[in-house]
């Protein structure tokens, strides 16, 4: 099981993400884990960018409303964000991946001279 945006528990109300990492992710190659982490980070970023868009849409009373609509709206938001990130998103995942690799390498510069 790969950790994905559905595992983050994001909500429209601005709740903080909490990662749930599956057991199989421990056995994945380091490169695929870095790719997945970078893509998941971008998906969380996109979901947060979509939140104002989703909150501005009003649903007619006949079509829904209430807590269940808010819950399913957040699931739809997460699904859109994950799909956008998997298709390239904003290109943020590439930068996050490069930063993660740089942080893991011993060649990274010291933060203070």
pTM for the whole thing?
0.61
Contact 26, 102 (CB under 8 A): no
Domain residue limits at 17: 5-104
Spans in the chain with pLDDT lower than 50: 1-23
Q: Is residue 86 in a domain? A: yes
Number of domains in the chain: 1
Contacts of 15 (CB under 8 A, 6+ apart): 9
pLDDT at 112: 58
pLDDT at 111: 60
Q: Is residue 110 in a domain? A: no
pLDDT at 84: 92
pLDDT at 29: 76
pLDDT at 71: 82
Q: How many other C-beta atoms can be found within 10 angstroms of the C-beta atom of residue 7?
A: 17
Q: Which two tokens stand for residue 62?
A: 């006949």
């Amino acid at each position: 099981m790969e950790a994905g945006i559905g595992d983050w528990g994001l909500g429209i109300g601005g709740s903080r993400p909490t990662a749930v990492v599956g057991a199989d992710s421990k056995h994945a190659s380091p490169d695929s884990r870095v790719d997945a982490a970078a893509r998941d980070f971008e998906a969380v970023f996109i979901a947060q960018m979509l939140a104002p868009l989703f909150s501005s849409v009003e649903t007619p009373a006949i079509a829904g409303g209430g807590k269940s609509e808010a819950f399913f709206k957040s699931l739809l938001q997460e699904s859109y964000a994950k799909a956008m990130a998997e298709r390239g998103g904003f290109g943020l995942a590439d930068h996050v991946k490069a930063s993660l690799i740089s942080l893991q390498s011993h060649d990274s510069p010291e933060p203070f001279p």
